[in-house]
Chains A and B, each alone.
Chain A
């Protein structure tokens, strides 16, 4: 019962956030320099027929709120309009590009979790050792290095120099895709690994200083129980939060990494659409991003719910 209410509240909050975002996103068209017709026309011939068609399609004669409502009801049916550049349905374009970015983002995320959590956990437990210092400094550099610079470096060393990985394209089929996306995923993951490792280390240090860890050790519980059930699970909450943030931010990284590795994903689509002012595509992308981010946050909330009985039973974190 309570869990349902909790979820309901979060979903409601997510919906409100999406609504506000959608309004801002819709305003992009009106706010972008030049008249909406001009923007929507793109590079097409400004024939009176076309202009009339565009005005009708986007209801440019209606007042702003009506237009918004019209657009929003379209969006709810996944109708984001047509690309100015290619006249294709925005939703088709997004669907086509989403694939690569999802792969990339999830692949990088898996890397983040596989590398960052053990590294951070072991550093946090063995604090002030050489290993801890190594992890800390590496993480520091990882957070600081611009992803595109990392990408270029990986590309020239592992792609070209050593020839271990293909240097462009997204590949098709599972194995092929994995080999194509490994370098980009690593480039994308570096910052995430660094952030999550730092967070895990801090959380672990925080948790291992807690009384219940000492008490568990005092009771002679085996190390794996203390590390697993006690340290790991209790440091999981901040780690999940930061991991969620990393996942949500991976689209930003994707923009940079995809342009470095020439991947046909949402990130490169954003750069292309922005620089050609293909507003409908940008709107679609912005909403999709917001939805992804909000979705990730909901998942984080669910994890909280699953992991922390205090949230399940008492409400509020």
Chain B
């Protein structure tokens, strides 16, 4: 659930035990809100086959085995080819896939009924043992799977019948129900065991039941897919799908412009003005569940003074930056909890009510000055703020903040750092002071991030409580997180009053597609649990 977009983010996620669909978070997109369209307006899907289609992403998959590829780019390739047990719909609801139904007889037991007559790419039928092994394998410590972070409470997985798999947990886990959609990717047991460590590599890309077979895979220049004709579900329209890495966003845009690439997910929002103006490209926007924020270490000077934190909160021109940083495709955030997750849980109205009642800190340098004057550091101070070089918007935000703070006597020096170093600093949990961060969960559950941001256990090395904001009362609230929204709302309020974290923006995700293609259905915030390749159609 935690996410620092791009490479840094991926790395961060995989290192922690924090539950999260890191990967997908980058483009985890929630309920299809505001689907934009190209200059000619929304198009309708036609019925024609697309013989070849090229999809581009900033990087190639590292592996095609979800156990060792828990990042956005790899996951997109995996979800295009393989099936999971379940899928997530546009509202974040779970839908049948390889499992036709499931039950949760007690908080520790999940029973899945499997679809019959499903065959692997090689024509062999899928068995319950294949399905069970696919998850069991990931929980095996010897496998050192990145997906283990979802499976810490997993006790056992067993084929309990020819069409039934049963999972048992050690303790209740409000988020386990999403695992079958997010990481339970079915691989043929025989193939996986034969491949061993090299499963997911170019030599042994994998054996699944999904709509596409992998014909070629290279971690350097992407994947080629070919339609699997024996697919159990709707036949996809694209016959041959190529997945290409293009790291430079500008090169990617040029490639799309020239028609060499048909589409991409996750266009940098800073660039969308440019993309919007590019002929022949339709843009699609969805909300996401990621929130970016400033974090201040409440245990070190000068951020141990709430007035200083409020002064900082008043100094960010969030409204003004909305356009230059995100092309207007973001909304101001007033809490570290994603509003989309909140809405998914309690509905729009209730969510708006909870959020509306929180105190806010509008951009007002006068008030910032007042707050600073009230603090113990009225004379101002100097602080260096690191940011990862791959995160251009954080540089712009910090430069804006630095400029504003300079008028009230505070010197802020933005300091670019290579991703890895920046991530390492966060992990080391030292010299945190002021940080610019981004959190993004993987499931629709709004309490997903809170233990990480406010828990006592996270206020140390390898933890993400970068504000070191923790006390027993808060700990108790975190302990009571469940299907009730109340403790979540209380933590939101506490944050708004004490401002260890200054919520900044909730970004949208922008996706681009050549105008002669359409998405049907449109992309949703829950892309992780969904086969996007099936949704690609020719425009009518």
In the complex they form, whether A and B have CB atoms below 8 Å apart is answered with: yes
A residues with a Cβ closer than 8 A to B are 33-34, 42-47, 49-50, 85-88, 92-93, 96-97, 100, 152, 155-156, 159-160, 163, 166-170, 259-262, 264, 268-269, 272, 274-277
Residues of A within 8 Å of B257, CB to CB, are: 160
B460, chain A: closest CB distance, angstroms: 14
With A96-B218, A96-B219 known as contacts, the answer to whether A262 contacts B258 (CB < 8 A) is no
Encode contact with A along B495-531: 1 for CB under 8 Å, 0 otherwise. Answer: 0000000000000000000000000000000000000
Given A45-B148, A169-B260: A262 and B247 interface contact (C-beta under 8 Å)? yes
Known contacts A169-B221, A262-B246, A276-B11: A160-B258 contact under CB 8 Å: yes
Nearest opposing residue in chain A for B201, CB measure:
A88
> For the complex, what is the distance from the CA of A169 to the CA of B68, rounded to whole Å?
26
Which residues of A sit under 8 angstroms from B141, Cβ to Cβ? 47, 49
What residues of B have a CB within 8 angstroms of the CB of A42 in the complex? 11
Q: Do B258 and A93 touch across chains, with their CB atoms under 8 A apart?
A: no
Report chain B residues within 8 Å CB of A85: 62
CB distance from B96 to the nearest CB of A (A): 31
Q: Are B418 and A167 in contact (CB under 8 A)?
A: no
Chain A residues contacting B14 (CB-CB under 8 Å) are 43-45
Report yes or no: B146 in contact with A34, Cβ–Cβ below 8 A. no
Name the CB-closest residue of B to A170. B221
B220 on interface, CB distance cutoff 8 Å: yes
Q: Which of B142, B149, B219, B419 has the most CB of A within 10 A?
A: B219
Most buried by B among A33, A88, A163, A272: A88
Find out whether the CB atom of A262 lies under 8 angstroms from the CB atom of B248: yes
B64 CB to closest chain A CB, in angstroms? 11
Query: Which residue from chain A places its CB closest to the CB of B248 in the assembled complex?
Result: A262
- Interfacial chain B residues near A44, Cβ < 8 Å: 14-15, 144, 146
Is B405 located at the chain interface by the 8 A CB criterion?
no
| B10–A34 CB distance below 8 A | no
B251 within 8 A of A: yes
Q: Establish whether residues A49 and B142, one from each chain, have CB atoms under 8 Å apart when the complex forms.
A: yes
Which residues of chain A have C-beta atoms less than 8 A from B63's C-beta? Answer: 86-87
- For B11, list chain A residues within 8 Å (CB): 42-43, 276
Q: Chain B residue with minimal CB distance to A163?
A: B258
Known: A50-B144, A167-B260. A260 touches B248 (CB 8 A): yes
A224 to B144 CA separation, bound complex (whole angstroms):
70
Task: Give the residue name and chain of the A residue nearest to B220 (CB).
Answer: A264
B220 touches A168 (CB 8 A): no
Smallest distance from the beta carbon of A147 to chain B beta carbons, Å? 14
> Could you say which of B197, B246, B424 contacts A168, with CB atoms under 8 Å apart?
B246
Near A by CB (< 8 A), chain B positions 374-397 give 389-390
Does chain A have a CB within 8 A of B135? no
Q: Is the CB of A166 within 8 A of B260?
A: yes
Bits for B12-49, please: 1 = Cβ < 8 Å to A, else 0. 11110100000000000000000000000000000000
Contact B258 A276 (CB under 8 A): no
How far does the alpha carbon of A169 sit from the alpha carbon of B421 in the complex, in Å? 30
- Are A45 and B424 touching (Cβ within 8 A)? no
Distance to closest chain B CB from A270 (angstroms): 13
Could you jot down 9 A-B contacts, CB within 8 Å? A33-B421, A45-B15, A45-B148, A96-B202, A167-B251, A169-B244, A169-B246, A264-B221, A272-B7
Q: Interface digits, B124-152 against A, CB 8 Å rule (1 contact, 0 not)?
A: 00000000000000000110111011000
Indicate if the CB atoms of B258 and A159 lie closer than 8 Å.
yes
Q: Tell me, rounded to whole Å, the shortest Cβ–Cβ distance linking B256 to chain A.
A: 9
- In the assembled complex, B420 has its CB within 8 A of some CB on chain A: yes
The count of residues in chain B whose C-beta lies closer than 8 Å to any C-beta of chain A is: 49
| Most chain B beta-carbon neighbours within 10 Å: one of A93, A156, A160, A170 | A160
- Closest Cβ neighbor of A155 among chain B residues: B254
Pair B419/A276 contact, Cβ less than 8 Å: yes
CB of B94 within 8 A of chain A? no
A69 and B219 CA atoms in complex are apart in Å by: 30
B398 touches A (CB below 8 Å)? no
Closest B residue by C-beta to A268: B247
User: For residue A166, which residues in chain B have a CB less than 8 angstroms away from its CB?
Assistant: 255, 258, 260
Q: How far is the CA of A60 from the CA of B421 in the complex (A)?
A: 23
Report yes or no: B62 in contact with A168, Cβ–Cβ below 8 A.
no
Bound together, the chains give a CA A166 to CA B246 distance in angstroms of 13
A163 to chain B, nearest CB (A): 6
CA distance A152 to B261 in the complex (A): 19
Q: Hey, which chain B residues are within 8 Å of A34, CB to CB?
A: 424
Q: How far is the CB of A39 from chain B (nearest CB, A)?
A: 9
Contacts of B258 in A (CB 8 A): 159-160, 163, 166-167
Q: Is B296 in the interface zone, CB < 8 Å from A?
A: no
Across the interface, which residues of B come within 8 angstroms of A170, CB to CB? 221
Taken together as a complex, chains A and B put the C-alpha atoms of A34 and B246 apart, in Å, by 31
In the docked arrangement, what's the CA distance between A88 and B197, Å? 10
Chain B neighbourhood of A268, CB < 8 A: 247
A48 to chain B, nearest CB (A): 9
Considering only residues 66-125 of chain B, those with a C-beta below 8 Å from chain A are 68
Query: Across the interface, which residues of B come within 8 angstroms of A264, CB to CB?
Result: 60, 218, 220-221, 245
> A44-B146, A45-B148, A262-B246 in contact; A167/B254 too (CB < 8 A)?
yes
A284 to B: closest C-beta gap in Å: 14
- Residue from B7, B220, B244, B261 within 8 A of A93 (CB atoms): B220
A45 touches B260 (CB 8 A): no
Chain A contacts of B13 at CB under 8 A? 43
Contacts of A100 in B (CB 8 A): 220
Contact B248 A93 (CB under 8 A): no
Q: Which residue of A lies closest to B56 (CB)?
A: A168
Residues facing A in B202-226 (CB within 8 A) are 202, 218-221
Tell me if B418 and A259 are in contact (CB < 8 A). Answer: no
